Homo-oligomer: A and B are copies of this chain.
Amino acid sequence: MSDPAIRIALVTLGVEDLARASAFYEAMGLKRSRASQATIHFYDMDGVVLGLFPNDLLAEDAGVAADGHGFRRQTLAWNVSDAATVDSAFARVLAAGAVSLKPPYKTSWGGYVGHFADPDGHLWEVAHNPFFPLHPNGAVSVPPPREGVKK
């Protein structure tokens, strides 16, 4: 037993139609884990696991009412290596059934980002951020705290 820092191990998205949602993410290159079951599908994304689970079951699990609409107060970011890959990734998500919210554009902070919604309305951005280098596995990391820096 220890006191580990909080972390995100899985992100489970509530979906209306599991087959439709799975088709979208699988068209984008994810492979369904053999741990998947009839009502829940898992995808290893090398750092975090994606779960797809029917809305009503997800709400029941959390002990909340399944009602909800509008902005979900979250964006998932998929960072890629360069602007050209943002463009090609954005084209791929649209071809796979996503809705374009903002086609890729140069941001005020020096990045290049496109915003889309998946078939269930979950918000995503595909981004090139020159200040957040990618690890070989595609994950990003951000710099540590300033602790110890005196200026």
Q: Contact residues of A with B, CB < 8 Å?
A: 1-15, 25, 28-35, 42-51, 55, 58-59, 61-82, 84-85, 88-89, 92-93, 101-102, 115, 120-123, 125, 127, 131-132, 134, 138-147, 149
Q: For residue A10, which residues in chain B have a CB less than 8 angstroms away from its CB?
A: 76-77, 79, 140
Taken together as a complex, chains A and B put the C-alpha atoms of A79 and B32 apart, in Å, by: 20
Who on chain B is nearest to A66 by CB? B71
Given that A35-B131, A46-B7 are contacting pairs, would A63 and B28 also be in contact in the complex, using a CB cutoff of 8 Å? no
B85 near A8: Cβ-Cβ < 8 Å: no
Q: For residue A75, which residues in chain B have a CB less than 8 angstroms away from its CB?
A: 12, 58, 61-62
Q: How many copies of the chain does the oligomer comprise?
A: 2
Nearest-Cβ distance from residue A117 to partner chain B, whole angstroms: 8
A33 near B144: Cβ-Cβ < 8 Å: yes
Q: For residue A92, which residues in chain B have a CB less than 8 angstroms away from its CB?
A: 3
B9 near A49: Cβ-Cβ < 8 Å: no
Nearest-Cβ distance from residue A81 to partner chain B, whole angstroms: 8
